[in-house]
Structures are given as C-alpha cells and as structure tokens.
C-alpha cells in the first residue's frame, strides 16, 4: 500500500517515450561478419528502412508532434550519411547503438568499447553532438559495459527491464525497455526458414499496447515504445503508430519525452531512489549455497 511511487515532473501520472532502433543493414552485417554471401533477400528487406520506413515514421511523428529517441549503429550512419543530420534537424534525440549492432552475447568487452568509441566519433563528426544515451542491441548488458558507458560520460543506458520506470544500476541511469511494447517481436518476419511465428496484424498489437498504456498510467509507468523503421515503416504499422501516439499525447497527465529528457529528470528528482545492484557476487554465493 505504501510502496514508494515514482515521481514524474509537474505532477504527471506517468510518462511515455517513442524510441527507434535504426538497425537497417547493421544486424545483417554483424551476423555475416565472417563474409557476405551474394544474397539480396534480407538486405533488401532491411533497406526498406532507410529508403522508406524511417521517412514515413519521421513524417508521422511531425503530424502527432512527438520527438523520439533514435538509436543508430554507427555503420548505418556511415552508410547513410544523411540520416543523423536529418534526425537532428527534425529535433529528435540521437543515441548510440554500437557500430555493427554487436550482440552483447557474441562480443567481448574490448570490442564493445572499440565500437563505442568509434560510434561516438562518427556521431560527433556527422552532427557535432555527443549523445547522452546508449541502447544495446538485443537488450543485453554486463556491468563492465555499463561501466564503459559511464567512463565515457554517457548519462543513461536503455536496455534493461528491472523496473518499468527509470532507475539506477552500476551508477548509470537506466531508462527501461519492455519486450511487450517492442515492434520486432510481433512484426519481424525474415523468411528463409528462421522465423518462429508469423507477423501479427497491427491492430492486434495496438490493442495490447493501448491496454498496457492505460494500465501503466495507474502504476506510474514509463511507456517505452520501441520500433524499427524496416519493420514498422510498413504501411499499416505506421498508421497504427499514428493512431496510438495521437491518443497518448492527448493525455494531460502523461509526460511525453525523449529518453535523454527522462534520464535528466531522473538525475534531478529520483537519483537516490530505485537504486539496483547487479549483485552477481551475491548470486554466485547463493548458488554455492552460502546465500
């Protein structure tokens, strides 16, 4: 009954953020880093993102007057050098997402750090901006990687799910994600025999997202939507996002903000609250029976 409740600015009841993982070719390059085969199927699917998808999403965001947080692997920024400048010009936040969309479970701390440094360099070179946030590919992190972000002056990470509002872990603000409100798990379909389920109609997903938003308002939740332009740039999905966002921004008691704004707010008003420990040593002790 008297559990601590997250405090949002101006007495807002809850918050919402629209985040975009601009993966494009990067995950395909990572998966095929040992050498590209001459197939075009996956690549062309993914290129729908930078060619069409992201521009549809940007136009849609203009129509509903929302600023989003766009996480861009630096190889994508290099392959599409008009991208980061366009995002900045239109007023959106840009954040880091690795160089080649390096999967945490398949990379090393050293490679992670090299990708981080390279992406900081690319972002600065293309836009003059030093991003304040990182989103990990596939939403996995280690304490060492969180420390690497902190060492480079980043303010927040947005990859974990320990709360459904911001919190602190490894000395960094965590702006949490949620699988439930990620587009890829419902809509991604690649072909070639790798898929485990078919794409859902956008309206079925919308219904669940609306329920999560409404129920989350009561709990003071951060409603962190995540989409990918090559996936959600398809027609019915853009239309669904526009319906959903248009309704969310109409709520006076919900704070719609970028992840960077949310991280800044957390530092200003909740810094000492909701502090989590990685606690790996403690768990190892529990495994060994000492608890």
d(CA 71, CA 94): 6
Q: Is 135 in the site for a second copy (CB under 8 A)?
A: no
3-class DSSP assignment, residue 276: strand
What is the DSSP secondary-structure string of 8-60?
PGGG-SEEEEEEEE--TTHHHHHHTTT---S--HHHHHHHHIIIIIHHHHHHH
The owner of tokens 């389920």 is 197
Contact 229, 20 (CB under 8 A): yes
d(CA 203, CA 208): 9
Distance of closest approach, residue 39 Cβ to a second copy, in angstroms: 6
d(CA 138, CA 136): 6
The owner of tokens 């989103």 is 135
Judged by beta carbon, residue 153 or residue 192, the one nearer a second copy is: 192
Distance of closest approach, residue 33 Cβ to a second copy, in angstroms: 6
Q: Which segment (125-133, 213-221, 244-252, 257-265) binds a second copy by CB under 8 A?
A: 213-221
Distance of closest approach, residue 288 Cβ to a second copy, in angstroms: 10
Out of 94, 216, 227, 229, which residue is the one contacting a second copy (CB under 8 A)? 216
Judged by beta carbon, residue 38 or residue 153, the one nearer a second copy is: 38
Out of 3, 110, 153, 268, which residue is the one contacting a second copy (CB under 8 A)? 3
Out of 9, 91, 130, 179, which residue is the one contacting a second copy (CB under 8 A)? 179
User: Across the chain, which distance is largest between two alpha carbons, in Å?
Assistant: 60
Out of 65, 82, 140, 271, which residue is the one contacting a second copy (CB under 8 A)? 140
Which parts of the chain are beta strand (E)? 14-21, 69-72, 93-96, 133-134, 156-157, 167-169, 172-174, 222-227, 254-256, 275-276
Pair of tokens at residue 56: 């549809």
Name which of residues 41 to 100 contact a second copy (CB under 8 A).
41, 43-45, 47-48, 51-52, 55-56, 59, 62, 75, 78-79, 100
Q: Is 189 in the site for a second copy (CB under 8 A)?
A: yes
Distance of closest approach, residue 236 Cβ to a second copy, in angstroms: 4
Q: Which segment (123-131, 238-246, 250-258, 261-269) binds a second copy by CB under 8 A?
A: 238-246
Name which of residues 27 to 46 contact a second copy (CB under 8 A).
29, 32-33, 35-36, 38-41, 43-45
Which value, in Å, is the radius of gyration of the alpha carbons in the chain? 19
Q: Is 280 in the site for a second copy (CB under 8 A)?
A: yes
Out of 31, 125, 130, 235, which residue is the one contacting a second copy (CB under 8 A)? 235
Name which of residues 142 to 171 contact a second copy (CB under 8 A).
142-144, 146, 159-164, 169
């Amino acid at each position: 009954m008297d559990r601590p409740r997250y405090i949002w600015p101006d007495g807002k009841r809850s918050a919402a953020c629209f985040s975009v993982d601009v993966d494009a070719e990067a995950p395909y390059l990572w998966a095929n880093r040992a050498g590209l085969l001459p197939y075009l199927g996956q690549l062309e699917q993914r290129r729908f993102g930078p060619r069409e998808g992201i521009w549809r999403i940007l136009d849609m965001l203009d129509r509903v007057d929302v600023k989003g947080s766009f996480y861009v692997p630096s190889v994508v920024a290099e392959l599409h050098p008009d991208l980061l400048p366009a995002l900045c010009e239109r007023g959106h936040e840009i954040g880091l997402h690795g160089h080649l969309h390096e999967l945490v479970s398949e990379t090393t701390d050293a490679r992670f750090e090299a990708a981080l440094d390279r992406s900081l360099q690319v972002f600065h070179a293309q836009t003059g901006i030093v991003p304040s946030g990182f989103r990990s590919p596939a939403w996995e992190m280690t304490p060492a990687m969180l420390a690497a972000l902190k060492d480079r002056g980043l303010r927040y990470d947005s990859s974990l799910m320990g709360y459904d509002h911001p919190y602190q872990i490894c000395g960094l603000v965590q702006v949490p994600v949620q699988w439930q409100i990620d587009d890829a798990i419902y809509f991604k379909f690649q072909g070639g025999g790798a898929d485990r389920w078919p794409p859902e109609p956008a309206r079925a997903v919308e219904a669940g997202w609306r329920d999560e938003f409404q129920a989350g308002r009561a709990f003071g939740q951060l409603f962190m939507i995540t989409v990918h332009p090559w996936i959600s740039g398809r027609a019915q999905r853009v239309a669904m996002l526009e319906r959903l966002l248009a309704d969310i921004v109409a709520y006076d008691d919900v704070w719609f903000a970028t992840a960077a704004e949310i991280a800044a707010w957390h530092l200003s008003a909740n810094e000492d609250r909701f502090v989590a420990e990685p606690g790996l040593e403690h768990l190892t002790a529990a495994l060994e029976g000492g608890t």
